[in-house]
Structures are given as structure tokens and as C-alpha cells.
Amino acid sequence: MKKRMMALLLAAAMVMSLGLTACGDKKESSGEDKKTESEEKSGGRKFGFTCMTMNNPFFTTIESSIRKEVEANGDELITLDTKQDIATQIQQIEDMINQGIDALFLCPVDSEGIAPALDMLEEADIPVINFDTDVTDKDKVETILVSNNEYAGQVVGEAMAKKYPDGGKIAILDAPYAEACVQRVEGFMKGLGDAKDKFEVVSQQNGKGDTAESLPIAENIIQANPDLVGFFCINDPSALGAYSAIESAGLTEQIAVFGCDGSPDAKKSIAEDGMAGTGAQSPINIGKQCVEAAQKILAGESVDKEIKVDTFLITKENVEEYGTDGWQ
């Protein structure tokens, strides 16, 4: 009887032991499954995108390039249009912070005026990838990824000096609130080189980087200066506006228009003997490098404080190399 009782007790103990072992195995297996699922999940992050305006093909191309890279990783991109209004941009950034973005791709409408938004982002511990136009307070962003804007203006200045070795009256359509545009103007003046004293800047006005805004400004400048020889515009949309004004005035043989960007529309104009040239950049590469930088920052890796993307001159002589159907 005792032997039988001992056998039953041993059997029960073995069953309990197996049950505990099975539970332990099940729990461990579940943990491994969860770990595998977590490792397989590559996305889930939320990014914000804000720039000067989405009415400029340069910025829409950067946004498309960023979106392609972000969504390929299974992440989400929130894009809002500031319409060149700094107050709107600050409010939209606050909205994106409330939506829980993990990082922000930022091109400020106003390099200095963006400060309140940078303070909010810092408080929320959200890293900022600053592109195209530098913010004034560079300590508030993780990295600044821009085209070599000064050089983009410089190659245009050199081309202007070469086209008009005897100088003449020129006009500049700028955007003084944007650091990138200030750098392009500085580069342009530098590019004039020894011929700088031969040129007279008869007008320098804010064209707001927009075709519709620049056209009437250019018309007024031409009317006031019928002997004008050239326009330097801080981007291609404003250059196309200036060229329309020149075309309407019948002065396409007299006045040369240079822009900055290398947009498809500008390249088509150059190929058709319209605009004289453009200091070109690559928005596709800017977008790709922005996402690469963001991923490194979120992974805790270090990135350079300033990353510069090459710029170069496109004129009638080399426009076919870059094509006119898309961005380079």
C-alpha cells in the first residue's frame, strides 16, 4: 500500500514538474516571438516636414525625395504648407509636436523668426534636421544640410562678368529673410570679381522667390532702367518671372537673366535661349541625405553639424547633360 501511494505521489510530482516546465517554455517562446516581431518591425516613426512654401518645385522635389525614403522604411511623413508665413510655420510646428513627431525636417521661412518654434522643439526633445536655409541659432538644430549656396551665387556672378566684360546696370531679386538667399547674393557679388566695379546694382528688391511676385517688380525695374543688362535672382521661380517681364518688354537680346536652383522649367528656358543660366543644386540628393542624417540621429549616432551638397552652373553650353524633364 505504501509502495502504491509513493508511486502515485511520484507520478503527480512528475506531472506538476512537466506542467511547470511547459509553462516556462511557453513563456520563453512567447518572449522570443515578441522580440522577433519587434526586430522585424522597421517602421513606426513619425516625421514632420516644413519649408518656405510648397508652391516651389524645388521644395516639392525635396519633400518627395524625403517622403520616398521615409515611407520605404515604414514610417510616416507629415507635411504642412506655410505659404511663406512665419507665424503659420510656428503654429504648424506646434501642431506637429502635439501629433508626436520623432524628428522634424525644417527649412525656415525666416531664419531668425523661427526661434520660438526651435525652443518648443528643444523642450519636446525633438531633433531638427535643418535643410536648404540655415536657422540663425544653429545650436538649436542637430545638423544643417544645405546646398553650397554661396558657390551657387558665385558661379552665376562669374558667368555674368564673362557675358558682360564691360559691366553695366544690373538688378537683384532677393529674399533677405532667408539665410540661403543672402549667401547666394554674397556669392554672386564675389563672383563678379575684378569686374565688380564695372557693374552698378540699380535695384535690389525682395522678389519673395515667387514667379507671380517677381514679374511686376521686374517690370517696374525695367521701366526705370531701360539700359539694364542683367538680373540675378535668388531662385528659378523669380528668375522666370523676371524673364517674362523682359520678354514682354521685347528686351530678351539686351537683358540676361540668371537664377539659382536648376529646376526643369529653368533648364527648358535655358535650352530655348530664354534664361542665361542657373546656379544649380540637387534637391533629390538633399532629401536623401536629410533622411540618412535623421536615421543616424535617432539611432544615437553622431552626424556633422554642417553638410554641404555641391552646386554648379548650368547654361546653354551644358544644359543637355542634365536634361530638362526633371531635377538632377
pLDDT tens digits for range 48-87: 999 999 998 899 999 999 999 999 999 999 999 999 999 9
- Report residue 95's pLDDT band, with 50, 70 and 90 as the boundaries: very high
Instruction: Supply the mean pLDDT for the chain.
Output: 89
Residue 199 has pLDDT above 90, yes or no: yes
Mean pLDDT of 36-40: 35
Is pLDDT at 24 greater than 60 in this prediction? no
Question: Which of 99, 98, 93 lies closest to 81, judged by CA?
Answer: 93
pLDDT digits (tens, 9 = 90+) for 156-169: 999 999 999 999 99
Element housing 150 (H / E): helix 149-163
Give me the mean pLDDT over the 106-113 stretch: 96
pLDDT at 30 over 50: no
Quote the pLDDT of residue 7.
43
Whether residue 18 has pLDDT greater than 50: no
Domain 149-282+316-322 sits in CATH at 3.40.50.2300
Amino acid at 324: T
Between strands 256-261 and 228-233, the pairing is: parallel
Q: What is the 3-state secondary structure (H, E, C) of 79-96?
A: EEECCCCHHHHHHHHHHH
DSSP 135: -
Q: 43: pLDDT confidence band, cut at 50, 70 and 90?
A: low
DSSP class of 265:
H
Q: What is the pTM of this model?
A: 0.76
Mean pLDDT of 20-33: 35
Give me the residue label for grid cell 500500500. Answer: 1
So what's the pLDDT on residue 91?
98
pLDDT for position 187: 98
Burial class (CB in 10 A: 0-12, 13-18, 19+), 257: buried
Mean pLDDT of 141-148: 95
Separation of alpha carbons 246 and 222, rounded Å: 8
Residue 93, pLDDT above cutoff 60: yes
Using DSSP's 3-state secondary structure scheme, residue 259 falls into: strand
CA distance 214 to 323: 26
Between CA 40 and CA 142 the distance in angstroms is 28
Question: What does the alpha-carbon distance between residue 54 and residue 57 come to, in Å, rounded to a whole number?
Answer: 7
Q: Say if residue 89 is exposed, middle or buried (CB neighbours under 10 Å; 0-12, 13-18, 19+).
A: buried
Beta carbons of 140 and 128 less than 8 angstroms apart = yes
Write out the three cell numbers for 254. Answer: 539686351
If 0-12 CB within 10 Å is exposed, 13-18 middle and 19+ buried, where does residue 225 land?
middle
Average pLDDT of the residues in 257-262? 97
Torsion, CA 68, CA 42, CA 81, CA 266, rounded to 10: -20
According to DSSP, the residues that pair with 144 across neighbouring strands are 130, 306
Average pLDDT over residues 81-110: 97
Cα separation, 75 vs 87, whole angstroms: 28
- For residue range 200-218, list pLDDT tens digits in order: 999 999 999 999 999 999 9
Q: Where in the chain are all domains bearing CATH 3.40.50.2300?
A: 46-146+283-309, 149-282+316-322
Residue 34 has pLDDT above 80, yes or no: no
The pLDDT score that the predictor gives to residue 261 is 95
Q: Residue 35 pLDDT more than 60? A: no
CATH superfamily of 46-146+283-309: Response regulator (3.40.50.2300)
